[in-house]
Structure 1
Amino acid sequence: MGPVMQGGQLSQNHWTIYMLTSATGSVQLNMQLADSVSDRGKLVVKEHAYVNSNTAVQFWDIPARPNTLAGTVYNLILSKGRHRYNMTEGGVGCRWWVFTVLRDFAASDLVEAGKVDEFLPNLSYNFSRGVAPITLPMKQGSFY
C-alpha cells in the first residue's frame, strides 16, 4: 500500500478476507492483480499463523455459522466463479470483489445476512492511520 497521491497521507486500501481457522491461525482470501500488464485478477489463498494482520488499517468480524469449514467457503467461491475476476483500470476493484463474495456467503447461509448488511457500508470509505475515513466510490470489476 502507499499514498493515493505523492506526498499524501491516505493509503491505497487493499481489501481482503481472512477466515479464522483457530485461535492463532487464519486463511486469507486475497483477490489481487495477476501481473503488471493486465487487469486480470488472481485469487491467492494463503494460510497464516496469526488472526490479525499487522498491516491492517481497519478490520471487522463477521462470524461464520458454526461448523463452517474453510474448504466449504473456498468451494463456494469456485462454484460461483468468483476466482475469475478482472480488476478495473489501474488494478483496483478488490472492494467490489469482497462485497460480492460476502453477499455470496450470506446467500448461502455461511454467515448471518444481517451481519454482512451491517458491514457493507464500510466498503464506501478509504481508511488510513490517523485520518478520519473519507468517502471513496467503489470501483466495480467484472467476473468472466
Structure 2
Amino acid sequence: MSPGYGSNGQRGKIHLSSNPDALTDQFIRSVSIPTTTQATVRTITDSIDSNGRDRYRFTAEWEGCKFWIFTLISDLEAAGFVASGSANAVWGEVSQYWRNPAGSEPREVSRGVFY
C-alpha cells in the first residue's frame, strides 16, 4: 500500500507485479514472519479484499503505511496464515523510528482510515 493517489494524494494503492528478485537489500530494518500454511499471492490478495484492506486513506502527511502493514499481518494471523504473535512482533517494530545505520526511538504510529 502506497500513498499518492486521488485528488489529494491520500488514497492508497496496491500495485502487484512480477519481480525476479525475491528480496531487496534496500532497507534499514526487516522482520521475518513465519508462515503456518502454504500461502499464495492469491491467498494474500483474497485476504486483503475480503477484509476491506484495499481501500485505505493515508493521513494528510501521507503517513500510515506502518499501520496498514500491522493490520494486514493481524488479519493474516487471525486467518491462521502466519504464526501466533506475529502482529505483536510487527507492532514492536513499526512503533519505532529506525535510524540508519543503527539505533531506534519510540514513535507513534500514524493511522490512516479504511473506508
Q: Do both share a fold (TM > 0.5)? A: yes
Shift of 1:46: 2.7
* Alpha-carbon contact 2:97-2:104 (below 8 Å) kept: yes
SS at match of 1:88: coil
Q: Distance in 2 between matches of 1:118 and 1:37?
A: 33
Shift of 1:53: 1.2
Q: Residue 84 of structure 1 is aligned with which of 55, 61, 64?
A: 55
* Superposition misfits of 4+ residues, deviation over 6 angstroms: none
Indicate whether 1:33 and 2:3 are aligned.
yes
Q: How does 1:6-85 map to 2 (within 5 A)?
A: 31-35=1-5, 37-85=8-56
Q: Distance in 2 between matches of 1:107 and 1:62?
A: 14
User: Letter of the aligned partner of 1:60 in structure 2?
Assistant: V
Relative contact order, higher structure (CA 8 A, sep 6+): 2
Equivalent residues, number: 114
1:26-81 deviation digits (Å, cap 9, x = unpaired):
xxxxx111437331111122332223212111111101223222211111101111
Shift of 1:94: 0.2
Gaps of 5+ in 2: none
Cα distance, 1:47–1:65 mapped onto 2, change above 3 Å: farther
* Alpha-carbon contact 2:74-2:86 (below 8 Å) kept: no
* Alpha-carbon contact 1:41-1:86 (below 8 Å) kept: yes
Structure in which a larger fraction of residues adopt strand: 1
In structure 2, the residue matched to 1:135 is: 106
User: Letter of the aligned partner of 2:20 in structure 1?
Assistant: A
**Aligned-residue CA RMSD (Å):** 1.6
Gaps of 5+ in 1: 1-30
Cα distance, 1:37–1:119 mapped onto 2, change above 3 Å: closer
Q: Distance in 1 between matches of 2:17 and 2:4?
A: 15
Tell me the percent identity: 25
